């Protein structure tokens, strides 16, 4: 199939998916997540936006440290995990509680700052925190989700966005995992 045919098909599939979920068009579907006063994750829009800003800072750091490395090399990935954990600590977060998960566009978890390189776990929150960023990667959509993770028995807030990085210029979902106490 020619490249333009594949792109046309993917665009049509995205539009169909958006319309089935009640969105008028792809642009509306791919808007950034917004604060919802009904959802218990944040008491105010300013708290939501403050945490979103922090996520974007972490995302920029991830892109900075990975833009010229091979994210298929497990030694390199282990070094990236160390750098991300150091950044969490520097910002005042306990890096054994707060974490980042980096997921390949095919859904495979390649790095988790608590569980290591290529952890064998279910992709908790993956349908939304991976699917929407990847479907909307051309819009650079920032996705927020609030969900329960069976493996840990905790509620989590997730921030995620698709980023194109590494020497291969691959797409990954960069996700910030915040347990809710």
pLDDT digit string, tens, across residues 34-58: 888 887 788 899 999 999 999 999 9
C-alpha span between 132 and 142 (Å, rounded) = 9
Q: Where does the pLDDT of residue 120 fall: very low under 50, low under 70, confident under 90, or very high at 90 and above?
A: confident
Q: Where does the pLDDT of residue 20 fall: very low under 50, low under 70, confident under 90, or very high at 90 and above?
A: low
pLDDT above 90 coverage of the chain, percent? 46
Class of domain 31-180 (CATH, top level): alpha beta
User: pLDDT of 58-74, one tens digit each?
Assistant: 999 999 999 999 999 99
161 with 174: CB under 8 angstroms? Answer: yes
- For the entire predicted model, the pTM comes to 0.82
pLDDT, greater one: 11 or 45: 45
C-alpha span between 86 and 107 (Å, rounded) = 26
């Amino acid at each position: 199939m020619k490249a333009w045919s594949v792109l046309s098909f993917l665009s049509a599939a995205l539009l169909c998916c958006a319309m089935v979920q009640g969105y008028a068009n792809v642009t509306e579907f791919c808007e950034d997540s917004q604060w919802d006063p009904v959802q218990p994750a944040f008491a105010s829009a300013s708290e939501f936006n403050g945490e979103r800003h922090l996520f974007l800072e972490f995302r920029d750091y991830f892109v900075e440290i990975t833009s010229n490395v091979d994210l298929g090399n497990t030694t390199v990935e282990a070094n990236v995990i160390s750098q991300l954990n150091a950044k969490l600590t520097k910002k005042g977060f306990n890096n054994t509680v707060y974490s980042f998960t980096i997921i390949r566009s095919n859904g495979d978890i390649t790095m988790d700052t608590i569980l290591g390189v290529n952890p064998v776990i279910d992709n908790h929150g993956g349908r939304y925190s991976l699917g929407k960023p990847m479907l909307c990667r051309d819009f650079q959509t920032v996705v927020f989700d609030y969900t329960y993770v069976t493996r840990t028995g905790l509620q989590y807030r997730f921030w995620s966005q698709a980023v194109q990085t590494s020497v291969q210029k691959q797409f990954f979902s960069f996700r910030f995992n915040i347990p809710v106490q």
